[in-house]
Amino acid sequence: MKAASLPKRLPTPVALMLIFLLVGLGIFLQNQKKRSSLGTSATTAPDQIKVSNIGANSFVVSWVTAEPTNGSVAFGETPSLGNFKNDIRDGKTQGEYLTHFVVVDGLSPQKKYYFKVVSGGKSYGNKDVPFEITTAPETEIKKETDIAQGKIITEDGQPVEGALVLLSLPNAITQSALTDRNGYWIIILSEARTTDLRDYVSYDKENQIEEILVIKGDKSSDAILTTKMDNPAPDIVLGKSQNFIEQFVSPTSTPKLIESSFSQELLKLNNSKVSTEDSELMILYPKEQEEVNNHQPEFFGLGPKDREITITVESAEKINTKSKIDNKGEWRWSPNTPLSPGEHTITVSYIDKNGIVQSVKRIFYVLAAGESNLPSFSATPSANLTSPSPTPTTGSLSPTPNLKITITPSPTPLITATITPIQRTTVPSTESGTLRPGTFLPTEALLAGGIIMIIIGVFFAFH
């Protein structure tokens, strides 16, 4: 009889070598996945998150990203959020930008709101919870309007589009704007609130020092000037620090207003006005002969409160409809059907208390699809967009040295701001955000395989 054959033994050194190889491979793959995850998230993670233009019914959230990406703000009256606002430049689809500017409006006065920044499809808050902010109390609007405006250019004199402009006055909430395609910006200084939000800030309209911070991508600029030279302000060169008080630079010839304004705080500014005994009837968008890159734009303006207005659009097609000015003196209207490309005329009118028809007219041009990349105003949804989701993952934002916003516990909480010499209002920045960790599944599986190999090696070693 043949002797039963013994099972082949796997040498112990070989078994140990296989174990070490498997464990090493698992660690390598895990690190590669981690690097990949961190690299992708870091390019779309929000940095330098700032809150500005805080008013009774709105505030602005701005931030920058390392790579162009889409962005929005998820907000609500509770930490569950539920509402979204997109970038002011977005139309029906979201664009991708380095500098992001979101106007959160339609809010109630002196009320706490929660929000998170949504960047690249991921949401970022104050560690694991949303940011908190309280709107200002309702205050009588100032009758006198004071503005600052200017232009941002490159070192070779080219206009900088989509740059964030932050203007700081002492003891005031920072005001902000976004430059248009020609590099122009405009800020309503008379709308700036005190840091406790209780009133509009008082300042010297001739000799008050202003500080301006400009951000676009990885470049920034600082400028110092006075209120006497801010309308228009000297051109600010992106990437340079400029002290216009020491330089005594004469202001450059900035147009009367920005060609395309992005902030809805500009609703009180426009050169086409009709004086009435009740109020001023105004079309704020579009401006005269402005090119509109939207076939269903949202028209808006000002007028006597609670008045019915007639809106007529004349071109190849004619639209005649009614609308109403709200109790804040603002009106908005968007056509139900798309406007054809070409020249159009919009006329807004109403009958005043003396029975006289007051009207204002504007000529504008609707561009054909693909004819221009101009941003345009369109009706902004107020809730529940289909994308992005507000809770894919939560980033953690580290504190910034510029300014820290904290909430004081009181029956009517207000924002308490700790001011630095540059007077910039910001929420925690994201210079070192905590991103979503990778999974340890590959390592665990390979370690389990290593343990199995040890058992097999021991079995063959003793049999």
DSSP letters spanning 395-440: EE----SS-EEEE--SSS--EEEE--TT--------TT-BPPP---
pLDDT at 424 over 60: no
Give the residue numbers spanning the domain of 441.
12-42+437-461
My answer on whether 448 and 357 are in the same domain is: no
Q: Domain ends where: 366, 381, 410? A: 366
Residue 167 lies in a domain: yes
My answer on whether 161 and 240 are in the same domain is: yes
Q: How confident is the model at residue 62 (pLDDT cuts 50, 70, 90)?
A: very high
Mean pLDDT, residues 85-103 taken together: 91
Residue 94 lies in a domain: no
Higher pLDDT, residue 422 or 32: 32
Per the DSSP assignment, residues forming a β-bridge with 147 are 188
Q: How confident is the model at residue 139 (pLDDT cuts 50, 70, 90)?
A: confident
The rounded distance, in Å, linking the Cα atoms of 214 and 298 is 29
Instruction: Tell me the two tokens of residue 250.
Output: 């004469």
pLDDT at 406 over 60: no
Q: Which of 438, 431, 433, 404 is nearest to 418 (CA)?
A: 404
My answer on whether 152 and 242 are in the same domain is: yes
Mean pLDDT, residues 364-378 taken together: 61
Comparing 41-50, 100-109, 110-119, the range with the smallest average pLDDT is 41-50
DSSP letters spanning 54-122: --SS-EEEEEEEEEEE-EEEEEESSTT--EEEE-TT--SS---EEEEEEEE-SPPTT-EEEEEEEETTE
pLDDT at 341 over 60: yes
Q: How confident is the model at residue 185 (pLDDT cuts 50, 70, 90)?
A: very high
Q: Domain ends where: 348, 366, 384? A: 366
Which residue has 């504190």 as its token pair? 399
Residue 422 lies in a domain: no
Task: Give the phi and the psi of residue 289 in degrees, each rounded to 5.
Answer: 60, 30
Residue 187 lies in a domain: yes
Question: Residues with Cβ < 8 Å from 332, sequence gap 6 or more?
Answer: 298, 299, 300, 323, 379
Higher pLDDT, residue 276 or 339: 339
CB neighbours of residue 14 within 10 Å = 12
> Residue 460 has what pLDDT?
58
Q: How confident is the model at residue 427 (pLDDT cuts 50, 70, 90)?
A: very low
Instruction: Using alpha carbons, list the distances in angstroms from residue 239 to 47, 49, 217, 294, 421.
Output: 18, 20, 11, 33, 21
pTM, two decimals, is 0.52
My answer on whether 188 and 280 are in the same domain is: no
My answer on whether 217 and 274 are in the same domain is: no
Per the DSSP assignment, residues forming a β-bridge with 127 are 125
- Element of type H or E holding 30: helix 12-44
The rounded distance, in Å, linking the Cα atoms of 384 and 382 is 7
My answer on whether 239 and 326 are in the same domain is: no
My answer on whether 206 and 285 are in the same domain is: no
The rounded distance, in Å, linking the Cα atoms of 62 and 44 is 14
Q: What is the pLDDT of the chain when averaged over all its residues?
A: 74
Residue 451 lies in a domain: yes
CA quadruple 30, 31, 36, 39: dihedral sign: positive
pLDDT at 258 over 60: no
Q: Number of folded domains in the chain?
A: 3
Residue 394 lies in a domain: no
CB neighbours of residue 111 within 10 Å = 16
Residue 405 lies in a domain: no
Higher pLDDT, residue 410 or 130: 130
My answer on whether 292 and 238 are in the same domain is: no
My answer on whether 269 and 233 are in the same domain is: no
Helix or strand or coil: residue 177?
strand
My answer on whether 220 and 284 are in the same domain is: no
Q: 239's torsion region: left (phi>0), alpha (psi -120 to 50) or beta?
A: left
Q: Domain ends where: 336, 366, 396? A: 366
**What's 229's domain CATH number?**
2.60.40.10
- pLDDT per position as a tens digit, 245-254: 876 544 444 4
- pLDDT per position as a tens digit, 428-456: 443 333 333 344 445 555 556 667 766 76
pLDDT at 133 over 90: yes
- pLDDT per position as a tens digit, 264-280: 444 433 333 333 345 67
> Residue 179 has what pLDDT?
93
pLDDT at 255 over 90: no
My answer on whether 207 and 285 are in the same domain is: no
Residue 235 lies in a domain: yes
The rounded distance, in Å, linking the Cα atoms of 307 and 213 is 41
Mean pLDDT, residues 367-373 taken together: 61
My answer on whether 230 and 320 are in the same domain is: no
The pLDDT > 70 percentage for the chain reads 63
